Amino acid sequence: MENLIRDRLSWLRFLGFDLGAPTPDANTIRLFREKLTEANALEALFVDFDRQLRERGYLAMGWPDRRRDTGGGAQTAQRPG
């Protein structure tokens, strides 16, 4: 993930990092995800993130299968038409 963030300008902009600014390393990202999981906040975060993307006109192409199996309420966006 760390290399993906540094490699893609679109990711840097989306995440609010300046070109050349330090980015989180893999351990920091892992620890953050663990804290979200421990707080039972990870699913809610992704649901809210999806909602915000849809409100801005972005189309989610689908969730990983584990989300469909959990019954957590996340819906796959469909293409118009």
Same domain for 61 and 49: yes
Same domain for 67 and 51: yes
What confidence category does residue 73 fall into, taking pLDDT thresholds of 50, 70 and 90?
A: very low
Same domain for 49 and 31: no
What is the token pair recorded at 5?
């963030």
The reported pLDDT for the residue numbered 22 is 87
Same domain for 25 and 8: yes
If DSSP codes are grouped into helix, strand and coil, which group holds residue 55? helix
What confidence category does residue 32 fall into, taking pLDDT thresholds of 50, 70 and 90?
A: very high
Residue-wise pLDDT for 59-69, tens only, equals 766 655 544 44
Residue-wise pLDDT for 1-23, tens only, equals 666 676 778 878 888 888 888 88
Same domain for 55 and 30: no
The range of the structural domain enclosing residue 6 comes to 1-39
Same domain for 57 and 23: no
User: Does 79 have pLDDT greater than 50?
Assistant: no
What own/partner pairs with CB < 8 Å and gap ≥ 24 does 48-51 have?
50/74, 50/77
Q: Tell me the whole-structure pTM to 2 decimals.
A: 0.53
Q: Say how many domains are in the chain.
A: 2
